Each structure stands twice: as C-alpha cells, then as structure tokens.
Structure 1
Amino acid sequence: MMKPLSVGIIGTGFGRTVHAPIFQMHPGFHVKSIASVHRQRTEDRTWNGIPYYRNWRDMLDREQLDLVSIVSAPGHHYEMAMLALQSGYHVLTEKPLGMNTEQTLQMLRESERLDRQAFVNFQWRGAPIRQRIKHILKGKELGDIQHIKYNGSFSGYSVLTESYRGWEARSENGGGFLFAVGSHMVDSLMWWMGEEITEVYGDMRTQIPSYHGDAGIEIRDADDAFTFTGRLNGGTSLVVDVFFPGIHGRGWTLEIYGTKGTLIMRNDQNLECSFGGAFESIDIEPFQPPANLEAPAVHYYNGFYQMIDGIYHSLTGNTTRIDLPTFADGHKTQAVLDAVRLSSETRSRINIDYGSMP
C-alpha cells in the first residue's frame, strides 16, 4: 500500500480544475490544501472539499507538505518556487519554468543547494504515443535523423476576436503561445532526440493585437503565432511553427525524417511510419482516463497522471517509469525560448547559451 504524500496546490484555476482532481485519483497523494495566486476576497475556507487559503504564502507557512504544485502565470513562478524550496518542500512548477534564464538558473541552483527535488510539468512526455516515439528514436529505427517539422494550426480566430485574454495577452506576465505550447514542443524535441538545440532563428507575431469589449480595450503584445528554425547538436535541422488565430486549423503534426524511415504523428493520437513503402499505422496501447473524470482534467489525464506517478516514485526512492522533466530541463527549454524571442526582436540567428549549470 502506498504511503500518501501531502500536496499543496497554488492556483485555483488550472490548479483546481486539473491538478487537484488528478492528484486526488492517485493513491500516493493527498491534496492537503489549495491556495489562491492572488488574495481573493472570500470567506470560504474550503474549495471542493479541500482546505483553502486566500494567500499562498500562508499555506507555505502553516502546512506540513511533501510537494508544492505551482499552477500560476509564469510571471509568478520564480517567487513561488524559490519560497517553496526555501520552506523545505519539493516542487512541481507549471511550464515554462520562469520568465528568463536568469530566473531559471537561480531556481535550478537553489534546488540543488537545498537538495530538493524539483520538476517542471512537461506532462506530455508521459503520454504513451510520445513514449513510443522516444523508443523508436532511441532504438535508431529511423536511422540518423536529418530533419524534423513540428507544427500546429488552430481555429482560434473567434476566441481572440470575441473575448478577453487577461494575463495571457501580456508578454510581461508570460503570456503568448511560445511560452504556452512552444515550451512543450521544445522540451519534447530535446527529450526525444537526447540532444540540445544549439541555434535558432525565430519570428513571433501578434495577429490580433487588441480586443474591444464591454469592459474596454485590451491591448495585446503576447504572440498568437510563432515560427522558428534551428539545429540540434548532431546537426538535425528543425522547423517549428504554431498559428492559433486560424478560421479552421488542422491541429498538430510532427514529421521526423531519418536515413532509414519517416515518422508522422497527428494530434497525439495517430502514429505512422514508412521505411520506403507505404505508411503503416503503429498501434499505441491507450491510457484511458477514469469514467468519472470531468473536463478539463480528462484532457490532461493521459500525460499528467503518468507525470505525478513518476514524481511519487522519485520522492519515495523507487524507480520511475518515465523520464521526469526536472528544473534542469526547464532551464534548457527556457534558454531556447529566450533565444527565439531575442532572434525575433533582432532579426538574427542566435546561438543558444545554457549558462553554467550545476
């Protein structure tokens, strides 16, 4: 029987609707408390049966926790993670790890100094289809990888033109799709290949720069589309592209071209390979969510449950079943994101500096 570890969650949006219910389904975790990112004016002392704090600092001060899950806008990650680590807790932080590599390197060094385990929620590593891609690449089934295309197009025009985006519209708060989905893409690429990205040339765009609603004008400077080309250590070339404000998008497509074969993944559901002939489907054993799990948590169960299961086994000293993304991985991803932003601003190719990592 698993000994439950106590979890405190910071964030009553995604933290309450996704992290909390999936943590509650894992026999190794007990969601002990949840706290607001901002000081909400409410007299409630519980939230869906979970003890609730209006101030996240109070939760860190008063609770005895094993793990703190930080589910806030990226602009808050540094302060929250540093205080949680200094309070003696292990930490899981939403992606991206921070706002820039200066922050993420300090966070990584602090976790090492305090001997705390620290993870970044690149949960899609745990999805069975992505684990299968990792297995294929590690086994050199495609030969030497020459080129990778990874793109996503979405039907987001009405969302951007008919509603406010809040902090997600502001780059100063960590908004934008490079941070939101590009962070996952960068982490997956480096994890799949077992290599670092060495250089990028980026272009970030804000296609819908404002919204006029009943509450006034929202001015946006965060990207809703981005493209970058790059290269990995071993010479593999990359093209990464995301376009959110489409009228009708096509979803996700990953194409990996090797000297022996080609792999295509569509929407994290269908996987095909060709070794010179026709493309053939590869069966993936599904990891089905429980029938009683509701949206939006149901959409994240596939990867997030595997992620926290790995964290449990890591914290209890057992062998993990997946490659857990740590603060070191989060820092490396941040270095690539920073380089894409700098490249877009300067219209130049940027060599990536990962700094002096512990």
Structure 2
Amino acid sequence: MGDTVRIGIIGTGFARTTQIPAFLACEGARVVAIASGHRENAARVAQTFNIPHVADDWRELVARDDLDLVSIVTPPATHMEMALAALDAGKAVLCEKPMAMNADETRRMVERAERTGAFALIDHELRFLNGRRRMRELVQSGEIGRVTHIKIFFRNATRARPDRPWNWWSDAKQGGGVLGAIGSHAVDSVRWLLGTEVEEVCCSLATHIKERRDAQTGAMRPVTSDDEALLLLRLAKTDLVEDATGLISLSVVEAGRQDHFTEIFGTRGALRIEERGELWRAEPSGDRWEMVPVEPTDLAPGLLDNGWSRGFTAFAREIVKALREGRRSVEGAATFADGHRVQLVLDAARRAHESGCWTSVNGS
C-alpha cells in the first residue's frame, strides 16, 4: 500500500459526526468516496468534507479500485452483506457494532475474513481511550486482586422525547435498540478488560416509548426495538476472575445528567472509568475514589468531546498507520472474531429476555 490510505465510507450518520473528521485528522489518510441510500445525504456530507465521489449504491463504492479501506457505518441489518462484498473485493474492512443481526451472520463474516486473510475490525473505539488501556493493565497485572464483579452503567435521554421521529433505530428488524448499540460495547468491555467470557446471562428488555411518527407519512408507527436493557452476567473462571458476576444497565430514555461508567471490583480494591477516560481507584475498605493519573486521549478537531470521539480519534490513527505499514491487524483492536463472541452474548440475552430465565452463552 502507498503512503496514502484511501477510504470509502458507507453511511452518513456516525460517519459524518465522528469517523470522517477523525480520519481526516490522520497523516496519510484520504476519504475518497461516500455512499448512502439517500444520495442527497451523501452529497451533503461530501460537500462538507470535500469528498470527491458520491454514490447512492454501496455496491458501486465497494467496487471502486481506488479504495484501500471500506468503513461500514450503516444499520446492523446491512452489515453482513456489505462486509462480505468488501472482503471479496479485496478491501480492508472496518465494521460498526453490533457486528450483524445474529451469530449466524457474524460467523459467516469471521469465516470470510479468515479465508481472505483480510484486515477486518469492529469499531469498539472505547478500547483506545488511554484510561481504559490503563485500567486493563491494572486488572491484568493483578493490581486489584481477583475480580469479583463488574458494573457498567449507561444513561442518557437521547430518545426520551416521544416526538422524535421513527427511524431505523426504532425497528428491531433493522437492528435498532440499545442492547445492540450500547450493549455490544458493554459486552466487549467485559471481555477485553477482564480477559474472560460471559458464560450465562439474564436479561430484561423494555420499550418505553411504543410509537413514533413517521417523518415521511406522518403516520404513527410501532417501535419494536428496546430503549432499555438490564443484564446480569456470570463470568467464566480464569486466574484473575473467580465466581465473578456482572451488571449492565443501559437506557436512552432516562432524564437527568448523561452518565456512562464502568466499575471493576476485586479482592484488593476497585477501579472506575468514566465517559472520557477518567480513571479512579478505591482501596478494599475505602469509602472514596482517588484519581489515577492518565494522559488524556487526543481529540480530533471538530468533534464533540466525549469518549466515543476521543476513542475513535486514537483508533483511526492506528488503523491508518497499520494499513500504511502493510499490516493486517491493529494491536488491541476488536477483530471479527471478537465481534462474533459479543454477538453470541447478545443473542443469549435476547433468548433470556424471551424465556425469563438464565441462559447459557452457547456456540463457537
């Protein structure tokens, strides 16, 4: 690969707000093309960021011979088809989370990536926050002893207004819902931070706003996706994880200050990481958190200051560097195999919700 990594983007949502500005801040990266099912959206983004090529068919973008990386930033129902096509076209692939609709789809994606030997990653950008990396180092080194519990809490009110229009996020058939959107990050965090797997899960999903108005027709449409997800976890035993449990609480319809944190409790203390990577530690019998010094993660120009933006700023830089050097992986990044393991947990969580029972995370 040459000195410049040529990037094609499919999708105009998170790509516009985060991915494109972060890639453009990377040395040796150029966004060459953007595609959207609504050409006017792609054209608007292309004009904003001076992207030369626009398409309303993602297949046209994947077929281009002037692209090195295809970033898939679309609803989950489209991920498998797009990823398989991009891999078959010889492109490196970055796929948004959740990886796909179910583990049957993610398994096919893993198999295709392995067969082609391609660069294929999932966008779990929170792994690249300096604070989270430091947290993982402390856990893996045994700094807080054997892990007994992990707690992940995410709350905002982005979908609390009932007059917010219906879109794909309201549709379970397109992969909408907080379990996939945020739960995928939470499960990945459990696996990556602790170095273990989820063995069993109990889950309750809720849809608190049950109808939204279609912006095109004006008619009310049912919301079939979840806006709240509560999960209990039982974790596999390792040298550092024993009889450990997990709690994940996610909501996008709760009023009040937005909050997002992860806490890990061990036999010799506890760690807490906040939204932008602020890291805290507590002693075993302590009654307060003390800050752990961590260098803040960079933020690309023009991005909102949050964990996702700072994480992707760092992740984009590592992606571009790896491709320029001809590498097929990024150290510490979530692979397609990681995405598949996360999907197995999400599938088990949905089965647990339907049955009302603890459910094993089966599959390989």
Determine whether 1:334 maps to 2:336. Answer: no
State the partner residue of 1:281.
291
Q: CA 1:43–1:312 in structure 2 vs 1: closer, same or farther (change >3 Å)?
A: closer
1:139-154 matches, cutoff 5 A:
139-154=141-156
Output one character per residue of 1:56-76: Cα deviation in whole Å (capped at 9) or x when no partner.
111222332111101101010
Output one character per residue of 1:234-289: Cα deviation in whole Å (capped at 9) or x when no partner.
13111111122122255123221101001223334432212233431112211232
State the partner residue of 2:35.
35
State the partner residue of 2:21.
21
Determine whether 1:230 maps to 2:233. Answer: yes
Q: Determine which of 218, 224, 238 is the counterpart of 1:221.
A: 224
Alignment partners' CA distance in 2, 1:283 and 1:266 = 13
- TM-score of the aligned structures, taking structure 2 as reference length: 0.89
Alignment partners' CA distance in 2, 1:253 and 1:62 = 41
How far the C-alpha of 1:17 sits from its partner, in A, is 3.1
Determine whether 1:354 maps to 2:357. Answer: no
Determine whether 1:78 maps to 2:80. Answer: yes
Report the secondary structure of 1:141's partner residue.
coil
Unaligned ranges ≥5, structure 1: none
How far the C-alpha of 1:336 sits from its partner, in A, is 0.6
Alignment partners' CA distance in 2, 1:27 and 1:242 = 36
Alignment partners' CA distance in 1, 2:94 and 2:42 = 28
Report the secondary structure of 1:62's partner residue.
coil
Determine whether 1:57 maps to 2:56. Answer: no
Alignment partners' CA distance in 2, 1:318 and 1:80 = 22
Output one character per residue of 1:78-127: Cα deviation in whole Å (capped at 9) or x when no partner.
11001000111110001011000000000000011111110000001001
- TM-score of the aligned structures, taking structure 1 as reference length: 0.91
Determine if contact 2:299/2:313 at 8 Å carries over to the other structure: no
State the partner residue of 1:179.
180
State the partner residue of 1:115.
117
1:200-211 matches, cutoff 5 A:
200-211=201-212
How far the C-alpha of 1:180 sits from its partner, in A, is 0.7
Code of the aligned partner of 1:146? T
Code of the aligned partner of 1:285? E
Unaligned ranges ≥5, structure 2: 238-242
Determine if contact 1:163/1:213 at 8 Å carries over to the other structure: no
State the partner residue of 1:263.
271
Code of the aligned partner of 1:85? L
How far the C-alpha of 1:218 sits from its partner, in A, is 2.5
Determine if contact 1:202/1:341 at 8 Å carries over to the other structure: yes
Determine whether 1:272 maps to 2:275. Answer: no
Alignment partners' CA distance in 2, 1:76 and 1:251 = 30
Alignment partners' CA distance in 1, 2:103 and 2:279 = 34
State the partner residue of 1:126.
128
Report the secondary structure of 2:182's partner residue.
helix
1:5-16 matches, cutoff 5 A:
5-16=5-16
How far the C-alpha of 1:42 sits from its partner, in A, is 8.6
Alignment partners' CA distance in 2, 1:106 and 1:93 = 14
Equivalent residue pairs, number: 350
Determine if contact 1:11/1:35 at 8 Å carries over to the other structure: yes
State the partner residue of 1:191.
192
Code of the aligned partner of 2:263? E
Alignment partners' CA distance in 1, 2:305 and 2:79 = 22
Report the secondary structure of 1:353's partner residue.
coil
How far the C-alpha of 1:132 sits from its partner, in A, is 1.2
Code of the aligned partner of 2:356? R
The share of aligned pairs that are identical, in percent, is 31
Q: CA 1:296–1:280 in structure 2 vs 1: closer, same or farther (change >3 Å)?
A: closer
State the partner residue of 1:135.
137
State the partner residue of 1:87.
89
1:238-317 matches, cutoff 5 A:
238-249=246-257, 251-275=259-283, 276-277=285-286, 278-290=288-300, 293-296=301-304, 300-315=308-323, 316-317=325-326
Determine if contact 1:197/1:230 at 8 Å carries over to the other structure: yes
Alignment partners' CA distance in 2, 1:261 and 1:157 = 36
Determine if contact 2:281/2:290 at 8 Å carries over to the other structure: yes
Alignment partners' CA distance in 2, 1:203 and 1:263 = 27
Q: CA 1:317–1:53 in structure 2 vs 1: closer, same or farther (change >3 Å)?
A: same
